[in-house]
Each structure stands twice: as structure tokens, then as C-alpha cells.
Amino acid sequence: MDLIFYHPTFDAAWWIDALEKALPGAKVREWRSGDNDPADYALVWHPPVEMLAGRKLRAVFALGAGVDSILSQLQANPEMLDASIPLFRLEDTGMGLQMQEYAVSQVLHWFRRFDDYQALKNERRWQPLAEYAREDFTVGIMGAGVLGAKVAESLLAWGFPLRCWSRSRKDWPGVRSFAGREELSAFLSQTRVLINLLPNTPETVGIINGSLLAQLQDNAYVLNLARGVHVNEEDLLAALNGGKLKGAMLDVYSREPLPADSPLWQHPRVAMTPHIAAVTRPPEAIAYISQTIARLQRGEAVAGGVDRVRGY
């Protein structure tokens, strides 16, 4: 069994060694331009078209939770990957816990008014503030996939009213579910903290715009943990400057790295991190990939397959 590996920044030697240990008998090589030798599986992140084009593979594994880069390449180059070849993504592999840490810490930061206390600190003002009521601090999660479920699960323990919105209705204990465009307004109308964990699809690009933000509760917060293309950054800034939004925490952006002249850098009520909310944890990823390949080799059903039409 032969595997080819490509990632623009990962340590290929480490991954090759770990994969060969996890898959006894497998031969793993780093793909380089001009390598057209046969392979059974490909492990990739932002792969060049020539790496996959024309190959008869048993499956391709994206080394992250998102597959939008591969799908966008496929739109421009349909010959890159035959429709019969399964495409898998890393559904969790340690990312769920990281998303839980990030979301819970930020929701609590806003709920305990630490953003306001930081502003007071900058003004050298000693001023205790009135507490927020937990029952009025509804958290709404857009995107109800594996990571959305993990974030909802972690927030339940803190007693916040929770709701989710997705393509199809969910049956999560303690979480009110909304589904489809016809229920989006109802979902937004009582949401104080909006957490975005949507997949990147043509239907979700630019979904967090002025019209959507206007439907949130006054003094709402936005936490974007999905993709930068989901948010119209000009509309987000307008909602902050106009007083509709009280704050935003962003991990992803329309352009990455974020240009130095972006007004997001200087806005006092925008907090930012450089796309680190949930990164690929190699040991967990190796375990998932090796177990999935072993099941595929035995002809068993496996989870994590991507629907190329839906985009996730």
C-alpha cells in the first residue's frame, strides 16, 4: 500500500515516520512535482492540481476540518479528482476540544464583562459594573456539525440558553434547534452571542452581513471560528460603530494574513487571533487516518466522507 503526502508547512519526515508506524507495511512518500508513480491514498493540504490529477486513488484525506480549498480547485479543474474517489476531512481529531476551549473562554469573557473592565482599566477608572443576567445571555451557534455539537456541549454546563441553526434540524438535549432560511430570523432575534461554525459553501459566503447582524439582539457579540468569507467585514465594522454590536472576536478573515491596513487591527472592540482556534493535532490525525484506511482496506463503512455538492 502506497501513500503520498503533501502539506506546505508540516514536517513531512515526521508524518511519514508516524504513518508508517501506524500502518505496518505501508510505504509513505512526500509528493514532489513530477512524481507520477502510483499511489493508493493521498494526504493533502492545499495540494497542487498536478498531484491528484489523473490518479487512481482509493481515497484522499484533507489534513484539516475544511475542504474548501480542494473543492474550489475542483471547480476550476474538474479533472483534478475523479468523482468516484472518496474525499475525507478530519472531523475532530482534537479540534473539538480546542473549539470548546476557545468558545467557552470567550463567552465567559463577555458575560463577566471583562471587555468592559479592560476598557475601564485603559482609562484608569475603578468602577464595578452591573452583572449580566445569564437567562438574557442566549448563545446561538450557526453550524451544527461535529464542531458545533462540541461547542454546544461545552456551553451547556455554564447554564446559558442555547440555540443552533443549520441546514437540517438537530435533536440536541438542552439546545433549541432552528433549520433552514425560513427560521433564520427567529434564531437571530433572541441571540446575544453569535458563534459561527458554518461550513464554507456558496450558500454561506457573506452570510454574516448587515442584514443578518441587524436581526440580533442589541449589544450582541460575534465570534467567528469558521471562515473569513462568511463575514462581510465592512458590515461588521458598521454594526460595531453604530452600536448594534458590542464586540467581536475573530480568528479568521477574508484575507490571511490580515493586511496591515485593515481597520480591524485598530478597532477597540475587535479582538483577534491568527487562525489558531483549532489546529490539526498530528497524533490524533494520524490515529484517525490510519484507522480509516484500515477500515477502507477491509471494505468497511467509514465516517468523515465529504459531500462534494454540499461542500462538507
Active-site residue, from 29, 46, 113, 275: 275
Is residue 124 flagged as an active site residue?
A: no
The per-residue DSSP string of 236-267 comes to: HHHHHHTTSEEEEEES--SSSSPPTT-TTTT-
Q: What whole-number distance in Å separates Cα of residue 272 and Cα of residue 256?
A: 12
Is residue 269 flagged as an active site residue?
A: no
Active-site residue, from 89, 163, 167, 227: 227
The edge-to-edge listing of strands for the beta sheet with 2-6 is 27-30, 2-6, 41-44, 59-62, 87-88
Q: What whole-number distance in Å separates Cα of residue 35 and Cα of residue 159?
A: 54
Q: Do 148 and 165 touch, CB atoms closer than 8 A?
A: no
Q: Do 219 and 116 touch, CB atoms closer than 8 A?
A: no
Strands 245-250 and 270-272: parallel
Rounded to the nearest angstrom, the gap between the alpha carbon of residue 71 and the centroid of all alpha carbons in its chain is 16
Q: Catalytic site residues?
A: 227, 275
